[in-house]
Amino acid sequence: MAYSPASQAAQNPLLTKQAIIVLREELEYFAIPPRGGSEQTDAQGNANEAMLELKRLCGQNLLEKKTIFTALQRNVNKENNVAEQHLIDMLCQR
């Protein structure tokens, strides 16, 4: 039995929807310190403790602002997308 493109799309949402794969290892954010602050890096780009603390504080702030996942959450609620809910849960893990 031959399948029409419409029936294939109905069975496989990847044919009609854009797939986005996010690797947790690839997520990054950057903290930009104020001028004249004690946050610095050495010649090799290694951060000092003050810079690391600034980045930790920025990360904490991002975790508290879970609205950055609003678009994903909308898909979870609309389509009961368990994979996207898992992604949100994984990204917000401490």
Burial (CB count <10 Å: 0-12, 13-18, 19+), residue 51: middle
In whole angstroms, what is the distance from residue 81 CA to residue 89 CA? 13
- Total domain count for the chain? 1
Q: Which domain, by its residues, includes 35? A: 5-91
Burial (CB count <10 Å: 0-12, 13-18, 19+), residue 31: middle
Q: Are 38 and 48 in contact (CB under 8 A)?
A: yes
In this prediction the pTM is: 0.48
- pLDDT tens for residues 61-94? 877 876 777 777 777 788 887 777 877 777 776 5
Question: What pLDDT score was predicted for residue 46?
Answer: 93
Q: Are 7 and 15 in contact (CB under 8 A)?
A: no
